[in-house]
Structure 1
Amino acid sequence: MKNILRGAVAAIALAGFATSAAAQTNQRHYAGLPIVGTATNPSDYHPLGFLPSAQDLADFVVTHGIGTRYTAETNSHGDSVAAVDRIDVEFSLSGTVNRDCSFYAGNNASARNIDFGVIGIRTGDNENVNSAFEMVGPATANIETLTAGCNTNNVVEINKDDIRGLVNLAPGGYDTNEFQANIPYSVEARWTGVPLNSQANGTLQTLNVATNANAGQKQQGAWRSDLEINIVAPAVTSRGLVAGSYTGKTTVTLRAI
Protein backbone atom coordinates (compact mmCIF):
# COMPACT_ATOMS: atom_id res chain seq x y z
CA MET A 1 0.00 0.00 0.00
CA LYS A 2 2.79 2.42 0.90
CA ASN A 3 4.56 1.71 -2.38
CA ILE A 4 1.37 2.38 -4.28
CA LEU A 5 0.89 5.74 -2.50
CA ARG A 6 4.48 6.78 -3.15
CA GLY A 7 3.96 6.09 -6.83
CA ALA A 8 0.77 8.11 -6.78
CA VAL A 9 2.47 11.10 -5.10
CA ALA A 10 5.35 10.98 -7.58
CA ALA A 11 3.00 10.82 -10.53
CA ILE A 12 1.01 13.81 -9.27
CA ALA A 13 4.15 15.84 -8.64
CA LEU A 14 5.53 15.12 -12.10
CA ALA A 15 2.22 15.98 -13.72
CA GLY A 16 2.53 19.50 -12.29
CA PHE A 17 5.65 20.09 -14.41
CA ALA A 18 4.21 18.78 -17.66
CA THR A 19 4.46 21.18 -20.58
CA SER A 20 1.39 22.64 -22.24
CA ALA A 21 2.00 20.40 -25.25
CA ALA A 22 1.87 17.16 -23.17
CA ALA A 23 -1.17 14.91 -23.34
CA GLN A 24 -3.59 15.10 -20.42
CA THR A 25 -3.40 12.34 -17.81
CA ASN A 26 -5.93 9.50 -18.05
CA GLN A 27 -4.66 6.51 -16.06
CA ARG A 28 -6.48 3.48 -14.59
CA HIS A 29 -4.50 0.79 -12.73
CA TYR A 30 -5.68 -2.43 -11.04
CA ALA A 31 -4.03 -4.89 -8.71
CA GLY A 32 -5.06 -8.14 -6.97
CA LEU A 33 -7.68 -9.15 -9.51
CA PRO A 34 -7.82 -12.99 -9.82
CA ILE A 35 -9.71 -12.85 -13.09
CA VAL A 36 -7.62 -10.40 -15.21
CA GLY A 37 -4.52 -10.18 -13.08
CA THR A 38 -2.75 -6.83 -12.78
CA ALA A 39 -3.86 -4.44 -15.53
CA THR A 40 -2.63 -0.96 -16.54
CA ASN A 41 -5.02 1.14 -18.60
CA PRO A 42 -7.16 -1.83 -19.66
CA SER A 43 -9.21 -1.25 -22.77
CA ASP A 44 -12.76 -0.03 -22.30
CA TYR A 45 -13.66 -1.40 -25.73
CA HIS A 46 -14.65 -4.92 -26.72
CA PRO A 47 -14.63 -5.71 -30.44
CA LEU A 48 -17.91 -7.70 -30.17
CA GLY A 49 -19.63 -4.73 -28.63
CA PHE A 50 -22.17 -6.57 -26.45
CA LEU A 51 -19.58 -8.28 -24.24
CA PRO A 52 -18.00 -6.42 -21.30
CA SER A 53 -14.63 -4.87 -21.97
CA ALA A 54 -11.53 -5.60 -19.86
CA GLN A 55 -12.05 -2.33 -17.99
CA ASP A 56 -15.73 -3.04 -17.35
CA LEU A 57 -14.89 -6.52 -16.05
CA ALA A 58 -12.14 -5.17 -13.79
CA ASP A 59 -14.42 -2.46 -12.40
CA PHE A 60 -17.12 -5.04 -11.70
CA VAL A 61 -14.72 -7.22 -9.74
CA VAL A 62 -13.34 -4.28 -7.73
CA THR A 63 -16.82 -3.05 -6.77
CA HIS A 64 -17.48 -6.49 -5.27
CA GLY A 65 -14.62 -6.21 -2.85
CA ILE A 66 -11.84 -7.94 -4.78
CA GLY A 67 -8.51 -6.23 -5.60
CA THR A 68 -7.97 -2.51 -5.82
CA ARG A 69 -7.95 0.27 -8.35
CA TYR A 70 -6.02 3.51 -8.91
CA THR A 71 -7.24 6.25 -11.28
CA ALA A 72 -5.73 9.59 -12.31
CA GLU A 73 -7.48 11.89 -14.74
CA THR A 74 -6.99 15.51 -15.66
CA ASN A 75 -9.15 17.90 -17.55
CA SER A 76 -8.20 21.40 -18.74
CA HIS A 77 -9.00 23.75 -21.61
CA GLY A 78 -6.48 24.26 -24.39
CA ASP A 79 -5.23 27.59 -25.71
CA SER A 80 -7.86 29.78 -27.37
CA VAL A 81 -5.58 30.15 -30.39
CA ALA A 82 -2.32 28.56 -31.41
CA ALA A 83 0.50 29.59 -29.06
CA VAL A 84 3.58 31.29 -30.58
CA ASP A 85 6.97 31.99 -29.09
CA ARG A 86 7.54 35.29 -30.98
CA ILE A 87 5.34 38.21 -31.96
CA ASP A 88 6.43 41.06 -34.25
CA VAL A 89 4.25 44.15 -34.04
CA GLU A 90 4.81 46.64 -36.86
CA PHE A 91 3.77 50.27 -36.42
CA SER A 92 3.18 52.46 -39.47
CA LEU A 93 4.27 56.04 -38.76
CA SER A 94 3.18 58.99 -40.87
CA GLY A 95 3.27 62.75 -41.01
CA THR A 96 3.37 65.62 -43.49
CA VAL A 97 5.71 68.52 -44.20
CA ASN A 98 4.14 71.56 -45.83
CA ARG A 99 5.63 72.91 -49.03
CA ASP A 100 7.38 76.21 -48.45
CA CYS A 101 9.55 78.73 -50.26
CA SER A 102 11.52 81.39 -48.41
CA PHE A 103 13.24 84.61 -49.44
CA TYR A 104 14.50 87.10 -46.90
CA ALA A 105 14.10 90.51 -48.55
CA GLY A 106 14.70 92.90 -45.69
CA ASN A 107 12.41 94.06 -42.93
CA ASN A 108 10.25 96.53 -44.88
CA ALA A 109 9.31 97.61 -48.38
CA SER A 110 12.02 100.26 -48.57
CA ALA A 111 14.62 97.47 -48.70
CA ARG A 112 13.30 96.55 -52.14
CA ASN A 113 13.51 100.09 -53.54
CA ILE A 114 16.69 100.03 -55.61
CA ASP A 115 17.65 103.60 -56.53
CA PHE A 116 20.47 104.19 -59.01
CA GLY A 117 20.50 107.84 -58.05
CA VAL A 118 21.72 110.09 -60.84
CA ILE A 119 22.45 108.13 -63.98
CA GLY A 120 25.36 110.12 -65.34
CA ILE A 121 25.40 111.41 -68.91
CA ARG A 122 28.01 113.34 -70.84
CA THR A 123 27.21 116.96 -70.11
CA GLY A 124 30.53 118.67 -70.88
CA ASP A 125 30.70 121.59 -73.29
CA ASN A 126 33.69 119.96 -74.90
CA GLU A 127 31.89 116.69 -75.73
CA ASN A 128 31.57 115.78 -79.38
CA VAL A 129 28.03 116.16 -80.55
CA ASN A 130 27.89 112.45 -81.29
CA SER A 131 28.61 111.71 -77.59
CA ALA A 132 26.62 114.46 -75.89
CA PHE A 133 24.01 113.31 -73.37
CA GLU A 134 25.02 109.63 -73.64
CA MET A 135 25.56 107.56 -70.50
CA VAL A 136 28.98 107.90 -68.95
CA GLY A 137 29.09 104.24 -67.88
CA PRO A 138 26.91 101.27 -66.90
CA ALA A 139 24.48 101.37 -63.99
CA THR A 140 24.62 98.32 -61.75
CA ALA A 141 22.82 96.96 -58.70
CA ASN A 142 23.95 94.04 -56.55
CA ILE A 143 21.42 92.39 -54.26
CA GLU A 144 22.08 89.46 -51.92
CA THR A 145 19.99 87.52 -49.43
CA LEU A 146 21.53 84.85 -47.24
CA THR A 147 18.25 82.96 -46.87
CA ALA A 148 16.39 81.65 -49.90
CA GLY A 149 15.08 78.37 -51.23
CA CYS A 150 12.20 75.88 -51.40
CA ASN A 151 11.78 72.48 -49.72
CA THR A 152 10.25 70.84 -52.81
CA ASN A 153 10.56 70.94 -56.59
CA ASN A 154 10.22 74.56 -57.61
CA VAL A 155 10.65 77.22 -60.27
CA VAL A 156 12.86 80.27 -60.00
CA GLU A 157 11.41 83.06 -62.15
CA ILE A 158 12.56 86.55 -63.15
CA ASN A 159 10.08 88.94 -64.74
CA LYS A 160 10.54 92.53 -65.90
CA ASP A 161 7.48 94.73 -66.08
CA ASP A 162 8.71 96.22 -69.38
CA ILE A 163 10.99 94.66 -71.96
CA ARG A 164 12.41 98.14 -72.65
CA GLY A 165 14.00 98.18 -69.19
CA LEU A 166 13.96 101.42 -67.19
CA VAL A 167 11.47 103.71 -68.93
CA ASN A 168 10.91 107.46 -68.85
CA LEU A 169 7.12 107.68 -68.79
CA ALA A 170 6.97 111.48 -69.37
CA PRO A 171 9.82 112.25 -71.77
CA GLY A 172 8.22 115.10 -73.71
CA GLY A 173 9.22 115.50 -77.31
CA TYR A 174 12.55 114.35 -78.72
CA ASP A 175 14.36 113.44 -81.92
CA THR A 176 14.09 109.67 -82.02
CA ASN A 177 17.13 109.47 -84.29
CA GLU A 178 19.27 111.05 -81.57
CA PHE A 179 17.58 110.31 -78.24
CA GLN A 180 15.80 107.49 -76.41
CA ALA A 181 13.66 107.35 -73.29
CA ASN A 182 14.54 103.88 -72.00
CA ILE A 183 17.57 102.14 -70.52
CA PRO A 184 17.72 98.38 -71.15
CA TYR A 185 19.09 96.19 -68.38
CA SER A 186 19.88 92.52 -67.75
CA VAL A 187 19.24 90.46 -64.61
CA GLU A 188 21.24 87.48 -63.37
CA ALA A 189 20.38 85.33 -60.34
CA ARG A 190 22.92 82.96 -58.76
CA TRP A 191 22.40 80.32 -56.04
CA THR A 192 23.40 76.80 -55.02
CA GLY A 193 20.91 74.11 -55.98
CA VAL A 194 20.12 71.01 -58.02
CA PRO A 195 18.16 70.35 -61.23
CA LEU A 196 14.53 69.27 -61.12
CA ASN A 197 14.03 65.88 -59.41
CA SER A 198 17.78 65.50 -58.90
CA GLN A 199 19.18 64.03 -55.68
CA ALA A 200 22.77 65.25 -55.68
CA ASN A 201 25.16 67.71 -54.08
CA GLY A 202 24.20 71.29 -54.87
CA THR A 203 26.19 73.25 -57.43
CA LEU A 204 26.14 76.80 -58.76
CA GLN A 205 22.90 77.58 -60.57
CA THR A 206 22.28 80.68 -62.69
CA LEU A 207 19.31 82.29 -64.39
CA ASN A 208 19.87 85.13 -66.87
CA VAL A 209 17.39 87.52 -68.45
CA ALA A 210 19.16 89.50 -71.16
CA THR A 211 18.68 93.20 -71.93
CA ASN A 212 16.41 92.31 -74.84
CA ALA A 213 14.36 89.72 -72.93
CA ASN A 214 11.40 90.17 -70.65
CA ALA A 215 11.41 87.05 -68.46
CA GLY A 216 13.09 83.74 -67.70
CA GLN A 217 12.64 80.74 -65.43
CA LYS A 218 14.50 77.65 -64.23
CA GLN A 219 13.07 74.49 -62.64
CA GLN A 220 14.85 73.20 -59.56
CA GLY A 221 14.83 70.48 -56.95
CA ALA A 222 14.65 71.50 -53.28
CA TRP A 223 17.42 73.92 -52.35
CA ARG A 224 18.49 76.42 -49.74
CA SER A 225 21.38 78.85 -50.00
CA ASP A 226 22.23 82.49 -50.39
CA LEU A 227 20.86 84.16 -53.52
CA GLU A 228 22.57 86.91 -55.50
CA ILE A 229 20.83 89.15 -58.01
CA ASN A 230 22.92 91.32 -60.30
CA ILE A 231 21.27 94.01 -62.40
CA VAL A 232 23.35 95.63 -65.13
CA ALA A 233 22.24 98.49 -67.37
CA PRO A 234 25.00 98.82 -70.01
CA ALA A 235 25.92 102.36 -70.97
CA VAL A 236 23.63 103.68 -73.73
CA THR A 237 26.04 105.12 -76.30
CA SER A 238 24.09 104.97 -79.53
CA ARG A 239 21.78 107.83 -78.50
CA GLY A 240 21.47 110.45 -75.82
CA LEU A 241 19.06 110.02 -72.91
CA VAL A 242 16.06 112.25 -72.54
CA ALA A 243 15.96 113.97 -69.14
CA GLY A 244 13.49 112.71 -66.56
CA SER A 245 12.76 109.85 -64.17
CA TYR A 246 13.41 106.29 -65.33
CA THR A 247 11.58 103.51 -63.54
CA GLY A 248 11.06 99.79 -63.85
CA LYS A 249 10.19 96.72 -61.81
CA THR A 250 11.76 93.28 -61.68
CA THR A 251 10.10 90.43 -59.81
CA VAL A 252 11.97 87.35 -58.60
CA THR A 253 9.60 84.48 -57.82
CA LEU A 254 10.25 81.18 -56.03
CA ARG A 255 7.29 78.93 -56.78
CA ALA A 256 6.72 75.36 -55.58
CA ILE A 257 5.63 72.86 -58.24
Structure 2
Amino acid sequence: MATSRIPGFSFYGWAGEQPEELNTLVHYFYDATKPGKIILQADPQWFGQYHVNREKFVTARNLISRRFPSVLSSAYYWETLRPNLVASGYDVANQIISAASAQEASALRTRAAIAEKKWVEMFAKPDFNWTWLTPEERADLTEVRALEQNPRPDFASSAAAAEFEDAISRLVSRGATVCLFRTPVTQEYLKMTRTMPDSRFAEFDAYIAEIAHRYNLRHVDFSTLPRSFGDNAFANSDHLIDRESSTVWPLAANACFGSSS
Protein backbone atom coordinates (compact mmCIF):
# COMPACT_ATOMS: atom_id res chain seq x y z
CA MET A 1 0.00 0.00 0.00
CA ALA A 2 3.01 2.30 0.43
CA THR A 3 5.14 1.35 -2.58
CA SER A 4 4.29 1.80 -6.24
CA ARG A 5 5.83 -1.00 -8.29
CA ILE A 6 4.81 0.41 -11.69
CA PRO A 7 5.55 3.98 -12.81
CA GLY A 8 2.31 5.95 -12.92
CA PHE A 9 0.34 3.42 -10.87
CA SER A 10 -0.71 3.50 -7.23
CA PHE A 11 -0.94 0.34 -5.14
CA TYR A 12 -3.78 -0.31 -2.70
CA GLY A 13 -3.16 -3.86 -1.57
CA TRP A 14 -1.87 -5.18 1.73
CA ALA A 15 -1.68 -8.42 3.66
CA GLY A 16 -5.11 -9.80 4.39
CA GLU A 17 -7.18 -7.43 2.24
CA GLN A 18 -10.74 -8.72 1.86
CA PRO A 19 -13.30 -8.32 -0.96
CA GLU A 20 -15.44 -6.02 1.15
CA GLU A 21 -12.44 -3.73 1.61
CA LEU A 22 -11.69 -3.81 -2.12
CA ASN A 23 -15.25 -2.75 -2.88
CA THR A 24 -15.04 0.05 -0.31
CA LEU A 25 -11.88 1.34 -1.99
CA VAL A 26 -13.47 1.17 -5.45
CA HIS A 27 -16.39 3.30 -4.29
CA TYR A 28 -14.10 5.66 -2.39
CA PHE A 29 -11.76 6.35 -5.30
CA TYR A 30 -14.04 6.04 -8.30
CA ASP A 31 -17.57 7.07 -7.42
CA ALA A 32 -16.59 10.62 -8.41
CA THR A 33 -13.47 9.97 -10.49
CA LYS A 34 -13.19 8.02 -13.72
CA PRO A 35 -10.76 5.11 -13.33
CA GLY A 36 -8.08 4.31 -15.90
CA LYS A 37 -6.06 1.11 -16.09
CA ILE A 38 -6.64 -1.22 -13.15
CA ILE A 39 -4.74 -4.40 -12.33
CA LEU A 40 -6.74 -6.52 -9.92
CA GLN A 41 -5.09 -9.47 -8.20
CA ALA A 42 -7.05 -12.55 -9.16
CA ASP A 43 -5.89 -14.80 -6.36
CA PRO A 44 -7.74 -17.54 -4.44
CA GLN A 45 -6.83 -16.04 -1.07
CA TRP A 46 -9.55 -13.43 -1.58
CA PHE A 47 -11.86 -16.17 -0.27
CA GLY A 48 -9.43 -18.06 1.95
CA GLN A 49 -10.36 -19.61 5.27
CA TYR A 50 -8.04 -17.25 7.10
CA HIS A 51 -10.37 -14.31 6.46
CA VAL A 52 -13.01 -15.75 8.79
CA ASN A 53 -13.40 -13.38 11.75
CA ARG A 54 -10.53 -11.18 10.55
CA GLU A 55 -11.11 -7.53 11.36
CA LYS A 56 -11.58 -5.14 8.44
CA PHE A 57 -9.43 -2.01 8.30
CA VAL A 58 -10.80 -0.31 5.20
CA THR A 59 -14.26 0.90 6.06
CA ALA A 60 -16.01 4.07 4.99
CA ARG A 61 -15.58 5.31 8.54
CA ASN A 62 -11.81 4.89 8.45
CA LEU A 63 -11.17 6.64 5.15
CA ILE A 64 -10.28 10.31 4.83
CA SER A 65 -13.15 12.37 3.42
CA ARG A 66 -12.77 13.06 -0.31
CA ARG A 67 -14.77 16.25 0.19
CA PHE A 68 -12.69 17.45 3.14
CA PRO A 69 -9.31 15.76 2.53
CA SER A 70 -7.70 16.03 5.92
CA VAL A 71 -6.22 13.22 7.96
CA LEU A 72 -8.34 14.38 10.87
CA SER A 73 -11.52 13.83 8.84
CA SER A 74 -10.97 10.10 9.28
CA ALA A 75 -12.44 8.63 12.45
CA TYR A 76 -9.57 6.18 12.44
CA TYR A 77 -7.07 8.88 13.40
CA TRP A 78 -9.08 9.80 16.48
CA GLU A 79 -8.62 6.32 17.88
CA THR A 80 -5.66 4.26 19.06
CA LEU A 81 -3.76 2.89 16.07
CA ARG A 82 -4.63 -0.72 15.58
CA PRO A 83 -1.75 -2.98 16.59
CA ASN A 84 -1.53 -4.84 13.29
CA LEU A 85 -0.89 -1.62 11.36
CA VAL A 86 2.17 -0.65 13.38
CA ALA A 87 3.26 -4.18 14.04
CA SER A 88 6.75 -5.55 13.82
CA GLY A 89 7.59 -8.07 11.13
CA TYR A 90 6.93 -10.79 13.67
CA ASP A 91 3.41 -9.53 14.29
CA VAL A 92 2.69 -9.31 10.57
CA ALA A 93 3.87 -12.87 10.09
CA ASN A 94 1.70 -13.97 12.97
CA GLN A 95 -1.30 -12.31 11.33
CA ILE A 96 -0.73 -14.32 8.18
CA ILE A 97 -0.89 -17.62 10.03
CA SER A 98 -3.22 -16.59 12.87
CA ALA A 99 -6.17 -18.67 11.73
CA ALA A 100 -3.98 -21.73 11.56
CA SER A 101 -2.54 -21.29 15.04
CA ALA A 102 -6.03 -20.91 16.46
CA GLN A 103 -7.00 -24.37 15.30
CA GLU A 104 -6.21 -27.60 17.04
CA ALA A 105 -2.53 -28.37 17.47
CA SER A 106 -0.98 -30.86 15.09
CA ALA A 107 2.48 -32.03 14.20
CA LEU A 108 2.36 -29.98 10.99
CA ARG A 109 1.32 -26.80 12.73
CA THR A 110 3.87 -27.28 15.49
CA ARG A 111 6.64 -27.67 12.92
CA ALA A 112 5.32 -24.73 10.93
CA ALA A 113 5.31 -22.51 14.01
CA ILE A 114 8.98 -23.31 14.62
CA ALA A 115 9.82 -22.68 10.96
CA GLU A 116 7.88 -19.43 10.99
CA LYS A 117 9.88 -18.17 13.95
CA LYS A 118 13.07 -18.87 12.02
CA TRP A 119 11.62 -17.14 8.95
CA VAL A 120 10.78 -14.02 10.96
CA GLU A 121 14.27 -13.87 12.42
CA MET A 122 15.88 -14.03 8.96
CA PHE A 123 13.37 -12.04 6.91
CA ALA A 124 14.88 -8.59 7.54
CA LYS A 125 18.43 -9.68 6.73
CA PRO A 126 19.99 -8.40 3.48
CA ASP A 127 19.41 -10.62 0.44
CA PHE A 128 17.02 -12.94 2.30
CA ASN A 129 15.03 -15.29 0.13
CA TRP A 130 12.90 -18.41 0.58
CA THR A 131 15.82 -20.79 -0.01
CA TRP A 132 17.37 -19.77 3.30
CA LEU A 133 14.91 -22.17 4.90
CA THR A 134 15.36 -25.90 4.48
CA PRO A 135 13.16 -27.75 1.97
CA GLU A 136 11.33 -29.35 4.91
CA GLU A 137 10.65 -25.99 6.55
CA ARG A 138 9.43 -24.54 3.29
CA ALA A 139 7.15 -27.52 2.73
CA ASP A 140 5.57 -27.19 6.19
CA LEU A 141 5.00 -23.44 5.85
CA THR A 142 3.67 -23.87 2.33
CA GLU A 143 1.20 -26.55 3.38
CA VAL A 144 -0.19 -24.41 6.20
CA ARG A 145 -0.38 -21.46 3.82
CA ALA A 146 -2.26 -23.45 1.20
CA LEU A 147 -4.69 -24.78 3.80
CA GLU A 148 -5.49 -21.27 5.01
CA GLN A 149 -5.82 -19.83 1.51
CA ASN A 150 -8.01 -22.64 0.23
CA PRO A 151 -11.24 -20.89 -0.82
CA ARG A 152 -14.09 -21.49 1.58
CA PRO A 153 -16.88 -23.91 0.60
CA ASP A 154 -19.50 -22.23 -1.62
CA PHE A 155 -17.29 -19.13 -1.88
CA ALA A 156 -18.74 -18.28 -5.31
CA SER A 157 -22.18 -17.68 -3.80
CA SER A 158 -20.90 -15.92 -0.69
CA ALA A 159 -21.37 -12.30 0.38
CA ALA A 160 -17.63 -11.82 -0.18
CA ALA A 161 -17.96 -12.91 -3.81
CA ALA A 162 -20.86 -10.52 -4.27
CA GLU A 163 -18.62 -7.69 -3.00
CA PHE A 164 -15.76 -8.79 -5.25
CA GLU A 165 -17.97 -8.93 -8.33
CA ASP A 166 -19.66 -5.63 -7.47
CA ALA A 167 -16.24 -3.96 -7.34
CA ILE A 168 -15.35 -5.33 -10.78
CA SER A 169 -18.73 -4.43 -12.24
CA ARG A 170 -18.45 -0.88 -10.93
CA LEU A 171 -14.95 -0.42 -12.33
CA VAL A 172 -16.08 -1.66 -15.75
CA SER A 173 -19.21 0.47 -15.75
CA ARG A 174 -17.14 3.54 -14.86
CA GLY A 175 -14.92 2.95 -17.90
CA ALA A 176 -11.89 1.26 -16.35
CA THR A 177 -9.64 -1.04 -18.35
CA VAL A 178 -9.43 -3.92 -15.89
CA CYS A 179 -6.89 -6.72 -16.04
CA LEU A 180 -7.02 -9.75 -13.75
CA PHE A 181 -3.57 -10.89 -12.65
CA ARG A 182 -2.74 -14.15 -10.89
CA THR A 183 0.29 -13.25 -8.79
CA PRO A 184 3.35 -15.51 -8.45
CA VAL A 185 3.55 -18.47 -6.08
CA THR A 186 6.16 -21.20 -5.74
CA GLN A 187 5.94 -24.46 -7.65
CA GLU A 188 5.52 -26.33 -4.38
CA TYR A 189 2.55 -24.14 -3.49
CA LEU A 190 0.94 -24.91 -6.85
CA LYS A 191 1.57 -28.63 -6.41
CA MET A 192 -0.03 -28.63 -2.96
CA THR A 193 -3.11 -26.74 -4.14
CA ARG A 194 -3.68 -29.49 -6.72
CA THR A 195 -3.18 -32.44 -4.38
CA MET A 196 -4.47 -31.34 -0.96
CA PRO A 197 -7.77 -32.80 0.31
CA ASP A 198 -10.86 -30.67 -0.34
CA SER A 199 -8.92 -28.31 -2.58
CA ARG A 200 -11.07 -25.60 -4.13
CA PHE A 201 -8.26 -23.85 -6.00
CA ALA A 202 -9.34 -25.30 -9.35
CA GLU A 203 -12.88 -24.15 -8.60
CA PHE A 204 -11.51 -20.66 -8.02
CA ASP A 205 -9.64 -20.77 -11.35
CA ALA A 206 -12.90 -21.58 -13.12
CA TYR A 207 -14.67 -18.83 -11.20
CA ILE A 208 -12.11 -16.20 -12.26
CA ALA A 209 -12.16 -17.42 -15.86
CA GLU A 210 -15.94 -16.99 -15.89
CA ILE A 211 -15.65 -13.43 -14.53
CA ALA A 212 -13.03 -12.59 -17.15
CA HIS A 213 -15.37 -13.94 -19.85
CA ARG A 214 -18.43 -12.19 -18.40
CA TYR A 215 -16.80 -8.75 -18.42
CA ASN A 216 -14.45 -9.35 -21.38
CA LEU A 217 -11.36 -8.78 -19.23
CA ARG A 218 -7.78 -9.72 -19.92
CA HIS A 219 -6.63 -12.45 -17.53
CA VAL A 220 -2.88 -12.84 -17.05
CA ASP A 221 -1.24 -15.69 -15.15
CA PHE A 222 2.23 -15.14 -13.74
CA SER A 223 3.47 -18.29 -15.49
CA THR A 224 3.07 -16.56 -18.86
CA LEU A 225 5.43 -13.70 -17.97
CA PRO A 226 8.96 -13.72 -19.41
CA ARG A 227 10.46 -14.45 -16.03
CA SER A 228 11.72 -17.48 -14.14
CA PHE A 229 10.17 -18.00 -10.71
CA GLY A 230 12.52 -20.18 -8.69
CA ASP A 231 12.32 -20.30 -4.91
CA ASN A 232 15.09 -17.72 -4.65
CA ALA A 233 12.66 -15.14 -6.09
CA PHE A 234 10.32 -15.51 -3.13
CA ALA A 235 10.10 -14.28 0.46
CA ASN A 236 7.61 -17.02 1.28
CA SER A 237 5.45 -19.37 -0.75
CA ASP A 238 3.28 -16.61 -2.23
CA HIS A 239 5.19 -13.33 -1.88
CA LEU A 240 8.14 -12.23 -3.98
CA ILE A 241 11.19 -10.59 -2.48
CA ASP A 242 11.24 -6.82 -2.84
CA ARG A 243 13.56 -6.45 -5.81
CA GLU A 244 11.76 -9.22 -7.68
CA SER A 245 8.41 -7.48 -7.16
CA SER A 246 9.83 -4.31 -8.68
CA THR A 247 10.75 -6.30 -11.80
CA VAL A 248 7.62 -8.45 -12.08
CA TRP A 249 4.91 -5.80 -11.72
CA PRO A 250 6.00 -3.79 -14.78
CA LEU A 251 6.05 -7.09 -16.70
CA ALA A 252 2.48 -7.71 -15.52
CA ALA A 253 1.45 -4.23 -16.65
CA ASN A 254 2.94 -4.84 -20.06
CA ALA A 255 1.14 -8.19 -20.35
CA CYS A 256 -2.10 -6.52 -19.30
CA PHE A 257 -1.99 -3.35 -21.37
CA GLY A 258 0.90 -3.53 -23.81
CA SER A 259 4.16 -1.62 -23.91
CA SER A 260 2.36 1.73 -23.70
CA SER A 261 1.35 1.08 -20.06
Please, what TM-score do these two structures have when normalized by structure 2?
0.20
Whose helix proportion is higher, 1 or 2?
2
Please, what TM-score do these two structures have when normalized by structure 1?
0.20
Bigger relative CO (Cα 8 Å, ≥ 6 apart): 2
Whose strand proportion is higher, 1 or 2?
1
Structure with larger Rg: 1
